[in-house]
Amino acid sequence: MKKLNCIIVDDEPIAREIIQTYLEKFPEIHLVASCNSAMEAFPFLQNNSIDLLFLDIQMPEVTGLSFAKLLKGNTKIIFTTAYREYAVDGFDLQAVDYLLKPISFERFLQAIQKIQKEFSEKKTIQKPTENNQNILENSIFIRVDRKMQKILLDDILFIESLSDYIKIHCTNQVLITRDTIKNIESKLPNHLFLKVHRSFIIAISKIESYTKEYLEINNKAIPISRNYRKDVLELLER
């Protein structure tokens, strides 16, 4: 794990000293500043890349909760306070942990382990390679039999809505999933697929023939509803 830049913001000198002493036992965490107020810390955070913030809640001028709402970027927060009643508010702000004063080293260690795990997991998530990206762009995943199954877009003929279920007709199989046609439509590129009826989405390249009332794919007639007819015919006749 890379070295994490850390800052302490607390109006109590003793509280800052305790955290600083604890941090000395973790060489992978680099304390770059110790501030006695949010007002002092704010310009520092604007001009420096900080991974971790130990933040007191009850402070004069600007409270820790108000300060946390102003923060942008990926800085992780561990709240430190003597007041248990702020815990819910703290976690609502996606804090990694909430330490009650006086903070024991054992409890501090648990918070550090959470941070280490979070940054370790973040590191393992890599950007897709060009080949992997192509795979992602050319396929979708749907839930079938309690697992997520990949379907290549090129294999899809058409999609049919049956109340709470969706039937995906592919070249070699028909898959059924509990979903809505609206949700499936949002996953499909609109230059490859076209909704022709409230219950049907078709793969444009798989159309074999059409009239004003229906089109054929794999020898199946798929209705074109009145609401979609104009857009469908404009696309097919241009």
| pLDDT tens digit sequence for 72-96 | 667 889 998 887 766 555 556 678 8
pLDDT of residue 90: 52
- Domain 4-124 belongs to what topology? Rossmann fold (3.40.50)
Helix ranges restricted to H, the chain: 13-23, 38-47, 64-70, 87-92, 105-124, 130-137, 181-187, 226-237
Q: Which residues pair with 15 in a beta bridge?
A: none
Global pTM reads 0.51
Three-state DSSP class for residue 18:
helix
Picking from 87, 21, 33, 77, the residue whose alpha carbon sits closest to that of residue 51 is: 77
Looking at residue 104, what DSSP letter applies?
P
Residues of the chain with pLDDT > 90: what percent? 45
User: Residue range 93-113: average pLDDT?
Assistant: 88
Q: Which residues pair with 148 in a beta bridge?
A: 143
Tokens found for residue 41? 């810390």
Asked if residue 224 lies in contact with residue 196, where contact means CB atoms within 8 angstroms, the answer is: yes
Q: Is the pLDDT of residue 71 over 90?
A: no
Please report, for the chain, the start and end positions of each structural domain, with discontinuous segments joined by +: 4-124, 130-237
Q: Is the pLDDT of residue 203 over 90?
A: yes
Query: What kind of architecture, by CATH, is found in domain 130-237?
Result: Beta Barrel (2.40)
Tokens found for residue 144? 């079938």
